[in-house]
Structure 1
Amino acid sequence: MNMDNIEAFLYAFQLGSFNKAAEALYLTQPSITARIQTLERELEGPLFHRDGGKQIVLTERGKQFLPYAQKILHAYQEISSTLREQPHTENSLTIGCTLLMSTHILPEILPIYRKKYPGVGIRILVGSSAYVMDKVLKKEADFGLVRTVSHPLIESYHLHTDTLRLVVPPQHPFRALPSHKLNWEQVGREPHIVLAHGTIEWLMVQRHYHRNQINPHIMMEVDNFEAAKKMVMRGVGISFLPELCMAEELANGLLHEIRPQPAAQLTRKIEIIHLRDANRELVEFFIHAVKSLDRKTLLSKSV
């Protein structure tokens, strides 16, 4: 995902037109259009409504992508600004990671890395676990932060275990029920918002209900956890979400965790991967950096 394309998207959104974005970035309007079209192809859908009017409006996909684009660009600008203040160096580091890792784990690790290696240029590639593994295999990324993947040329190390928690909006009637009075048959009848069919998270939820001999009411499938989280907060349904992405909402009462009995055990391993012949020192540094953050600290900073 090219940073110039993300910047063009944000300028177009903020200024309300492709022409104004082009002027602000000292580009032509066709150049802005081409960058946004490239981004739309990568995200497999339109980001703006194009109705011939002067004012452009975000599509639902564009609204979902907006907070991620803002976080990614902010992190990139922060890193770039810091590194420009350091002496020039030919050393560089490219990290591949999923969106969840880029917003909730990397911001905690990179300051530690920056203190030890202040002159190293950093590039972050964001995509699915399969995308990240492909970048590592092609030597386009030094290492990756992903869910569990497997390949004969890849070595992986456990970095963090994230648990899927079942959450409801704060006004949901389940909030008033104690855990021992809440069972999975009751929960299964509620409208569920799940990650897209075939993902690891989708399979975990399906297997859990299958073990309990329940056919859950799957009302909606989305392609990312942030979308599912917002749907739950607005009372659309309930969802299993990773701890990493909702610590702030739980703390502020915007979401409420429920724990039907028997307790569900839905955990996902987050791993660091690299080629077998890669530099182990770099990988070990990041492993130790994450381990230095205890679980409570990591979750409390996942905002």
Structure 2
Amino acid sequence: MLIDHLEKLNYFYAIAKMGSFNKAAKKLYITQPSLTKSIKILEEDLQKELFIRTPKGVKLTVEGNIIYEYCMILFSHIEQMQDDISKMENPMNTSVTISTYDSIAVYFWPKFINYINKVYPELTIRLLTGRSNQMHKKLIDGQCDLAFIIEPKESKHTINEKLAEDKFAYYESTDTKIYKDHQSAPLIIMNQTVELADQKIGTFLNKYREDNHLYEASSLETVKALTSGGVGIGILPTQVARDLVKAKKLKEINPTKFPKLTKTKHNISICYSRYKFGSPLINNLVKELELFTREFY
């Protein structure tokens, strides 16, 4: 029975998350032969293979995927139980890991961390940054407690709550520019960010590519820096551009013959594990994020 193999289930869960016996053995501080033997015992008891060995590591079988889904719930509840017991006096006297989109980390988190430090001075925040889809995966994999990201995908493992929305607009520098007018200006975008939202914009950008007047960056912060430096017209979310607009280093423009960006609205959401619903720590943080974003956006 599986109840007799809780330790081996923990081994299985580590291998499934890391995709490698070797990496899991190092994380668990056991030898790889011991780990392999434990999984073999588990497979023999279930009379099912749980992993498919490949040159790049391991993949889950159909039966392995089923067990992995249950392990996510099981070990999440065990962690929650440990947290609840250790934090009975003050659930906020702990550390929390939050993943967020790169640009949100730049314009939002310095202000929110200053705010939350006053509300919960005993709370320690660890921040992870990257692309939204990467950060959402970290949440699903249990590598963080919350994710504050853009347009999260629906998942049976997470609760996604919309807190705000943003949209893209055209911006140019208020200082010296290297182009004469809008029609001759290079366009600066983040790879595939805008064109995926609207087919007309995609067609327009393809024309710019043909004329070699398009700069494609890997981050919105690069787009913002090039735009404020007068290199060209940048397509940016209003929140990303906001601080430089206030500082009068960027200004929003509506160039003639450029497509409207009306279909580029996107949601900014807070996401957390469905299995941590009701946790005092998560509830308090979500509540404070709701209050703060209401004023911020």
Q: TM-score range by the shorter chain?
A: 0.5 to 0.7
Residue segments in structure 2 that go unaligned for 5+ positions in a row? 1-89
Q: Secondary structure at the match of 2:236?
A: strand
Paired letter, 2:125: I
1:125 paired with 2:128, answer yes
The answer (yes or no) to whether the contact 1:94–1:143 under 8 Å persists in 2 is yes
Displaced runs of 4 or more, over 6 A: 173-176, 211-214
1:99-114 pair list within 5 angstroms: 99-114=102-117
Q: Secondary structure at the match of 1:203?
A: coil
1:201 paired with 2:205, answer no
Number of equivalenced pairs: 195
Task: State the identity %.
Answer: 18
- 2:158 maps to what in 1? 154
- 1:238 maps to what in 2? 233
1:91 paired with 2:94, answer yes
Q: Distance in 1 between matches of 2:169 and 2:190?
A: 14
Q: In 2 relative to 1, CA 111–235 (structure 1 residues): closer, same or farther, beyond 3 Å?
A: closer
Q: Distance in 1 between matches of 2:206 and 2:104?
A: 32
> Which structure is larger by alpha-carbon Rg, 1 or 2?
2
Q: Secondary structure at the match of 2:201?
A: helix
Residue segments in structure 1 that go unaligned for 5+ positions in a row? 1-86, 177-185, 296-303
- Report deviation, 1:228: 1.3
The superposition leaves residues 9-64 of structure 1 with CA deviations (integer Å, 9 ceiling, x where unpaired) of xxxxxxxxxxxxxxxxxxxxxxxxxxxxxxxxxxxxxxxxxxxxxxxxxxxxxxxx
Paired letter, 1:160: A
- 2:8 maps to what in 1? none
Out of 196, 217, 222, the residue aligned to residue 217 of structure 2 is: 222
Q: Distance in 2 between matches of 1:90 and 1:234?
A: 44
- Report deviation, 1:108: 2.4
TM value normalised by structure 1:
0.55
The superposition leaves residues 157-182 of structure 1 with CA deviations (integer Å, 9 ceiling, x where unpaired) of 11221221201223569999xxxxxx
- 2:168 maps to what in 1? 164
Q: In 2 relative to 1, CA 213–115 (structure 1 residues): closer, same or farther, beyond 3 Å?
A: closer
- Report deviation, 1:121: 1.9
- 1:251 maps to what in 2? 246
Q: In 2 relative to 1, CA 175–271 (structure 1 residues): closer, same or farther, beyond 3 Å?
A: farther
Q: Distance in 2 between matches of 1:213 and 1:231?
A: 18
Paired letter, 1:264: L
The answer (yes or no) to whether the contact 1:175–1:256 under 8 Å persists in 2 is no
- 2:261 maps to what in 1? 264
Q: Distance in 1 between matches of 2:223 and 2:293?
A: 29
- Report deviation, 1:202: 4.2
Root mean square deviation of aligned Cα = 3.1
Q: In 2 relative to 1, CA 209–174 (structure 1 residues): closer, same or farther, beyond 3 Å?
A: farther
Q: In 2 relative to 1, CA 248–145 (structure 1 residues): closer, same or farther, beyond 3 Å?
A: same
Q: In 2 relative to 1, CA 277–149 (structure 1 residues): closer, same or farther, beyond 3 Å?
A: same
